[in-house]
Amino acid sequence: MASLCFKYPFLAFFLLIVFFSTYLSHSVHAESEILRLISLQASGDMNHVRITVIFNTRPDYTIMPLARPPRLVINLPETVFLIEKNHIKTPGFLKDVRYGMISYERARIIFKTASPFRLENVVTNFLQNGKWQLTIDLINSSDQEFEHALKAWQMQKKQEDKTRDKNQDKQAHSCLFTVVIDPGHGAFDNGATGVNGVLEKEITLAFAKVLQNLLQKESGINVYLTREDDIFLRLNERVKIARNLGADLFISIHADHIDLPDIRGATVYTISDKASDALAKALAEHENQADILDGLPFNEAPEVTDILIDLTRREAQAFSINFAEKVIVSLEKSKISLIKNPHRYAGFQVLRAPDIPSVLIELGYLSNFEDEKLISDPLWREEMAKLIARSVRDYISSHKR
């Protein structure tokens, strides 16, 4: 959620109502809703293992992979285990299962595997009998795939730890504006390739670091990157990092390729279920395919009908448009080459956080010789980053309460 000094004003009253009603509800049921693990089962073969865990109430859990040997860990609050260890089967590449309390308030389940794995599915469902089911699918994978997943988790954990440290002085931190910059692509996902071989993943990271450095010099701003080196992050992981960091603004950086070499110039995109034009639609579809490169197709989230989330999303979208327009005005004034109709919109998955104003900035087209030359120039990147940083400052000034 956004920092306290930059909350959406229209939503503040509703958030207070939800907070107090949730607090009272949790207080009333706290004693009767101690988490109980009723069933733990595993099935599968040497390629795929499915883990199914049944609880009496909705579990509050975190999942993390560990290496050497490969393990999957589920962290839980205080839990009563109503199962017998000897009755848990370990099929396929699953070797061992251990569980228990590790402190007065924390429990843990550890799944040891015979080979590296990747997480294909993690789903929590409410069952008709009133119980809750956690389902986890593990796919036997290569060492490289496992290392990529492990690095992504470590990056996310590192950012979360940074946030916890910042929150030690809660009052001071609440009035800092948090910007999360997302360098597109990474690792085996190169993104677009320029006419002279420039890789999009390298350009986006280099530019993001310049922009981060400029914004860090400003007072009252926290700045983070979703990735700081050449790693792969799924689209939903990028959004999750931004939300965990309490982002007030999310800026995804890209440089695209198109089969029309004469098209050039920067573009600023905001989220919309309906694309502004065929080019925007095609670009969004292309960017949304990034997750398939790691073997895990993106699963569309179900339609959200909660009125509070809908109100949040509408305000976030309005703020996204406002920031996009500020960026475009800044670029136009400095004679930066822009595509015709530079503010476009489409269904980019990386912009779908309902509570964070988000934009995707295409620095230009690597399929165009002039654009590739400019984007590869450190001096041009510095100038472009300064203009975006100025837009961030203008945006913050116009939205302070």
Write down which residue in 110, 145, 180 finishes a domain. 145
CATH number at residue 313: 3.40.630.40
How far, rounded to the nearest angstrom, does the alpha carbon of residue 330 sit from its chain's CA centroid?
27
**Model confidence over 63-82: pLDDT tens digits?**
888 888 899 999 999 999 99
Q: Is the peptide bond before 302 cis (omega within 30 degrees of 0)?
A: no
State mean pLDDT over 125-151. Answer: 89
- Which pair of structure tokens corresponds to residue 331? 């670029």
User: In this structure, are strands 221-225 and 177-183 parallel, antiparallel, or unpaired?
Assistant: parallel
So what's the pLDDT on residue 323? 97
3-state secondary structure 317-352: HHHHHHHHHHHHHHHHHCCCCEEEEEEEEECCHHHC
pLDDT above 70: residue 134: yes
The verdict on 128 and 176 lying in the same domain is: no
Q: What's the pLDDT at 355?
A: 86
Per DSSP bridges, beta strands 71-77 and 62-66 are antiparallel
CATH of the domain at 46: 2.60.40.3500
Rounded CA-CA distance 84/69 in Å is 24
Which amino acid, one-letter code, is at 138? L
Mean pLDDT lowest for which of 56-65, 110-119, 150-159, 197-206? Answer: 150-159
* Cα–Cα distance measured from residue 296 to residue 122, given in angstroms and rounded to the nearest whole number: 12
Distance of CA 1 to the CA centre of its chain: 13
**Furthest CA-CA distance within the chain:** 71
* Residue 18 included in any domain: no
Side-by-side strand order, sheet with 249-256: 221-225, 177-183, 249-256, 358-365, 266-271, 338-346
pLDDT at 103: 75
Q: Are strands 358-365 and 266-271 parallel, antiparallel or unpaired?
A: antiparallel
- Lowest-confidence range among 194-208, 221-235, 362-376? 221-235
**What's the confidence (pLDDT) of residue 36?**
94
For residue 304, tell me if it sits in a domain.
yes
**Contact (Cβ atoms closer than 8 angstroms) between residue 237 and residue 156:** yes
In a domain, 76, yes or no: yes
The whole-angstrom distance between residue 390's C-alpha and the CA centroid of its chain comes to 25
Q: DSSP states of 129-149 as a string? A: TS-EEEEEEEEE--HHHHHHH
266 or 291, higher pLDDT = 266
**pTM for the predicted model, two decimal places:** 0.58
Amino acid at 112: K
- Mean pLDDT check: name the lowest of 27-36, 181-190, 284-293: 284-293
Residue 363 has a pLDDT of 97
**Same domain, yes or no, for 174 and 129?**
no
Q: Which residue has the tokens 């302070």?
A: 400
Instruction: Based on the fold, state whether residues 111 and 188 are members of the same structural domain.
Output: no
Q: Same structural domain for residues 107 and 216?
A: no
Domain boundary among 109, 129, 145: 145
Residue 121 belongs to some domain of the structure: yes
Residue 16 inside a domain? The answer is no
- Where residue 92 falls (left for φ over 0; alpha for ψ -120 to 50; beta otherwise) is left
- In the structure, what pLDDT confidence band is assigned to residue 25 with cuts at 50, 70 and 90? very low
* Segment 299-353, tens digit of pLDDT: 444 333 344 456 677 888 899 999 999 999 999 999 999 999 999 987 788 888 8
- Angle 263-269-274 from CA coordinates, rounded to 5°: 100
Amino acid at 289: Q
Both 314 and 358 in one domain: the answer is: yes
Mean pLDDT score across all residues of the chain:
82
Are 356 and 210 members of one domain? yes
Q: Is residue 5 part of a domain?
A: no
Instruction: For the chain, state the CA radius of gyration.
Output: 23
Do residues 132 and 58 make contact, with C-beta atoms less than 8 angstroms apart? Answer: yes
Tokens of 102: 């590790």
Helices (H) and strands (E) in the chain, counts: 9, 15
Q: Which of 128, 145, 162 is the last residue of a domain?
A: 145
- Among the residue ranges 12-26, 191-205, 225-239, 292-306, the one predicted with the least confidence is 292-306
389 and 276 in a common domain? yes
pLDDT band at 19 (very low <50, low <70, confident <90, very high): very low
231 is written with which tokens?
Answer: 């790693």
Mean pLDDT calculated for residue range 244-266: 93
**Of 119-128, 153-162, 212-221, where does mean pLDDT reach its minimum?**
153-162
Domain count along the chain: 2
Domain residues for 337?
Answer: 170-399
CB 74 within 8 A of CB 61: yes
27-31, 154-158, 252-256: least confidently modelled range: 27-31
- Residues 137, 220, single domain; the answer is no
Answer yes or no: do 242 and 370 share one domain: yes
Question: Are 226 and 319 part of one and the same domain?
Answer: yes
Determine, yes or no, domain membership for 163: no
Residue 144 has pLDDT above 90, yes or no: no
Same-domain check for residues 282 and 386? yes
Query: Which residues 6+ apart lie within 8 Å of 255 measured at CB?
Result: 184, 191, 192, 200, 203, 204, 362, 363, 364, 365, 366, 371, 375
Strands 35-44 and 79-81: parallel
Asked if residue 151 is part of any domain, the answer here is no
Q: What is the pLDDT of residue 53?
A: 96
Question: What average pLDDT does range 355-364 have in this prediction?
Answer: 94
The most confident of the ranges 13-17, 87-91, 144-148, 197-201 is 197-201
376, 203 in Cβ contact below 8 A? yes
Mean pLDDT of 12-38: 55
* Residue 368 and residue 260 share a domain: yes
